[in-house]
Amino acid sequence: MTPLAGYLLVAALVFAIGLAGALTRRNAILVLIGIELMLNAANLNLVAFWRYGPHPELLTGMMFAVFSIAVAAAEAAVGLGLVIAIYRHARTTDLDEINRMKG
């Protein structure tokens, strides 16, 4: 197995774990944690392809990962803000109980 394949497999495993967390947990914050894990797995793919691909001196993959980290930080801030707003309104973060579009 080449090193790149090892990294890709680890990234696939982390992605699947994040997806499982996002799909199975009740708590909205845990769903966000799962989404963060999925984003991180994608970043690992980007950096691994940058390291083992042609022309690493162009920095393309690493820059992509760095920008992706910045966007993920923005997503986390807005997502957790939304969870807090929903909690204030519905008094719960249980996604099975938040089942109304109307407030």
Please list every residue from 41 through 80 that binds other proteins, using CB under 8 A.
43-44, 47-48, 50-54, 56-57, 59, 62-63, 65-67, 69-78, 80
- CB 102 → other proteins: shortest distance, Å? 17
Q: In the numeric block, which tokens belong to residue 41?
A: 């797995």
98 binds other proteins (CB under 8 A): no
Q: What residues between 8 and 37 interact with other proteins by CB under 8 A?
A: 8-10, 12-27, 29-30, 32-34, 36-37
Interface with other proteins includes 94 (CB under 8 A)? Answer: yes
Residue 83 touching other proteins (CB under 8 A): yes
- The two tokens of residue 25 are 């947990």
CB of 103 to other proteins, least distance (A): 12
Asked if residue 80 lies in contact with residue 93, where contact means CB atoms within 8 angstroms, the answer is no
Whole-angstrom distance between the N-terminal and C-terminal Cα of the chain? 54
CB 96 within 8 A of CB 89: no
Residue 38: exposure state from Cβ atoms within 10 A (0-12, 13-18, ≥19): buried
Least distance from C-beta 87 to other proteins, angstroms? 4
